[in-house]
Structure 1
Amino acid sequence: MTVVAGGPSAARPQLIRAINEQVLLDHIRRSGPVSRTELARLSGLSKPTVSAALGTIERVGLVHATGQRTGVPGPAAVLYEVRPEAGFVLGLDVGREFLRGAVADMTGAVRSRLSVRTKAGDAMARVQELAGLATTLLVDAGISASQLTQTVIGSPGVYDPRLDTLTLTGRLSGWDSPAVLPALRNEFGSTLMVENDVDAAALAERVHGHGRDVDSFAFVSVGTGIGMGLVLDGKLRHGAHGVAGEISYLPFAEGHGSDARDARKRGSFDASASAAAVVRAARRAGVRGASSAEKVFAAAARGDEVAAEIVAEEALLVAKAVCTVIAVVDPELIVLGGGIGQAPGFLEAVVDQLRQLAPVLPEVKASVLGTDTVVAGCIAAGLDRAWEHLVARISSPSTTG
Structure 2
Amino acid sequence: MIDRSSVDADSSIGVTFTHNKFQTATMIRMAGLPAPVHVMVKSYEEARQAADRLGWPLVVKPANLDRGEGVTVAIANDEKLEFAYKRASALSKSILVEREVPGVCYRVLITNGKMLYAIKRSPRSIEGDGRHKVTELVRMATEANDNKPPWLQEKPYPLDALALESMSLAGFTTDSIPEKGEWVPLRRIESTAWGGHIEEVTELVHPENLQIAEQAATLFRLSNAGIDIISSDISRPWYENQAIINEVNYAPYFGGNDIARSAMPAYLKTLIHGDGRIPIEIVLGKDSEMSEARSRQQALLKQGVDCHLTSHSETLKPDGQPMPFPFQSLFNRTSALLMNRHVEALVLSVQTDELLHTGLPVNQVDQLIHLNDEISDWKNPDVSSEATIQKLIEQIEHYLAT
Structure 1 length as normaliser, TM-score? 0.21
Structure 2 length as normaliser, TM-score? 0.21
Give the structure with higher Rg (CA). Answer: 2
Q: Which has a greater percent of helix?
A: 1
